[in-house]
Amino acid sequence: METAAKAENIKEMNNTGETLSGAEILVRSLIQEGVDTMFGYIGGAIMPVYDALYDYQKELKHYMSRHEQGATHSAQAYARLTKKPGVCFTTSGPGATNLLTGLADAYLDSTPMVVITGQVHSGLLGSDAFQETNMVGLSMPVTKWNFQITKVEEIAEVMAKAFYIARTGRPGPVLIDITKDAQVQKTEYKYERCKGIRSYQPVPKLNMDEISAAAELINSAKKPMILAGQGILLSGAEQELMEFAEKTQTPVACTLLGLSSFPTDHPLYVGMLGMHGNYGPNMNTNQCDVLIAIGMRFDDRVTGDTSKYAKQAKIVHIDIDRSEHNKNISVDIPVLADAKQALTELNKVVSGSEREEWMQTFKDYYQLEYEKVIEKQTHSSRERINMAEVIDCLSEKTNGEAVLCTDVGQHQMTSARYYKFKNPNTQVTSGGLGTMGFGMPAAIGAQIADPNATVVSVSGDGGFQMTIQELAVIRQYKLPVKSIVLNNSFLGMVRQWQDLFFEQRFSYTEMDNPDFVKIVEGYGIKAKRVSKREELQDAIQEMLDFPGAFFLEVVVETESNVLPMIAPGAAVSEMRLE
């Protein structure tokens, strides 16, 4: 009863002046920031915090991952769906270093996170103590901000700053490293949420001259094209984007992380950009007269050869991060703004007319892509199942409304190409870092964020084995995650590059895999394997109908390539269909 009462009254206890341990101050700070879910793995240097968590189990739900990297990916997906910072804990030394991949992934993909690592006693810092690592130094390149707490008096203020920095402006991960003595020291508790930091302006003041210049250029365009990035989703600007596209009658293409920001069944949607994107938007990047990039950073996987990228076009680039303007591509009108803010103002002053001839070029390119690639992959005549058949079937049976969490590789690109996303924030993947093993722990975080959603993890046989232990989390917490492994017995994307660019010298890419079904059943999860085309539809339906977690292994073609493809160093308009 005492624990329950403490949890119920925590918000009223904010500024009571009680004397509390650093660990309990940290826990209360989480609650004051609206945190109710976290991921982590306990260890010696963080034990005082975990001991404090014991008294707040009603307010704070902790999910124990089976590897710290898994905790970060779960927290990333949780953040993307809830729009709240994902939170995870771990101990010092190897526990903390195991977080670095997830931090780098979150940093490149602008995912808000607050990561808390335990640290050795402050008196031992710099002495090479047991499980001591310099996490501030190690995490500096992959965090938006980091800080080492050595005194209990610092905890409340640093935690408030951490959450403010993580979620404002261009979101990103923050790491707080806290020594063990700071966790057990006591001080008077008082918490105040951060409302601003001197010299840090997370949301730039909108320059209306930039908006006017952009609108003038857009209104004069004959062949405009919108490139929608993840900034649309981060700012919640999906409706503003649709209004903008419809007002200006401009075709919309999405980056990999921008997928689900615009409905795939909308008549103005023309596909995905990039190395394995759709043919039309890539080709027409070098045909449009005005390119309107919103919340995207002109990553090399989108631009191809930058010396040949959209040279004929005037470029408007809307982004909240000034450093992205003119970084990879020179632009004509940079607009420093949040996507929602900029589109709201642009929608007041833009206009357009029917662009049937321009839209027809996209349709013609799509027809060519369909004949050369799509039809052959979704209706394969080969003996084994093609990855595209699986994703196409999954999309149809879920009506494009599942939350799809993918690893990295051929299956990721196939999922991005063939799943018809209907709703925002339903595609969760690793973009900038390209982290194998991302999919299943991400699906865990997504399912926790939205318990009523159909959440499907799609992995290859390589990536699946990198975080396979997270099956235990699915089992322990009874999460109804659906997991699909597309097993081609290869590191498929690497094999594809060896096929196309390394004279078919298949060096160390073939996989001799274990029996995945037996392994998954060992975790107490229902599992099934299919290898025949006629079994596929029923198997996917069985998976979706099953009330709990379900694992489906699909044996697919071993030597199929994901096409179209922009070869390394080639221009977007040099995309190959075969």
Selected catalytic residue, list 13, 131, 188, 521: 131
Query: In this structure, which amino acid lies at residue 550?
Result: F
Given a contact cutoff of 8 angstroms between Cβ atoms, the answer to whether 312 and 223 are in contact is no
Closest CA to 484 of 466, 459, 505: 459
Q: CA-CA distance, 10 to 8, in Å (whole number)?
A: 6
Phi/psi of residue 279, each to 5°? -65, -45
CB 76 within 8 A of CB 106: yes
Q: Choosing from 493, 511, 543, 575, which is the catalytic residue?
A: 493
In angstroms, the CA 282 to CA 322 distance is: 25
Q: Give 534's contacts (C-beta < 8 A, 6+ positions apart).
A: none
Angle at 488 between CA 515 and CA 540, to 5 degrees: 75
State the catalytic residue, choosing from 24, 33, 59, 68. 68
CA–CA separation, 135 vs 576, rounded Å? Answer: 44
Please choose, from the candidates 387, 496, 483, 388, the residue with its C-alpha nearest in 3D space to the C-alpha of residue 439.
Answer: 483
> Left, alpha or beta for 384 (phi > 0: left; psi -120 to 50: alpha)?
beta
Pairing of β 403-406 and β 427-428: parallel
Active site residue 68: yes
Identified catalytic residue from 161, 180, 223, 340: 180
DSSP 126-156: TTT-TT---HHHHHGGG-SEEEEE-SGGGHH
**Is 272 labeled as catalytic in the residue annotation?**
no
Cβ proximity of 482 and 455 under 8 Å: yes
Beginning with the edge strand found earlier in the chain, give each strand of the sheet holding 61-64 in spatial order. Answer: 61-64, 37-41, 86-90, 113-119, 173-179, 145-149
- Which neighbouring-strand residues pair with 269? 252
| 180 carries an active-site annotation | yes
- 15 three-state secondary structure: coil
Q: In residues, how long is the chain?
A: 578
Closest CA to 461 of 418, 498, 426, 494: 494
Q: Which two tokens stand for residue 477?
A: 């917490």
Residue 44 DSSP label: G
Local structure of 278: helix, strand or coil: coil
Phi and psi at residue 67, to the nearest 5°: -160, 140
Give the contacts of 464 (CB within 8 A, at least 6 positions apart).
407, 437, 439, 440, 483, 485, 516
d(CA 71, CA 67): 7
Query: Are the beta carbons of 19 and 189 closer than 8 angstroms?
Result: yes
- Contact criterion met (CB below 8 Å) for 349 and 211: yes
**One of 130, 367, 371, 401 is an active-site residue; which one?**
130
| Catalytic (active-site) positions | 68, 130-131, 180, 493
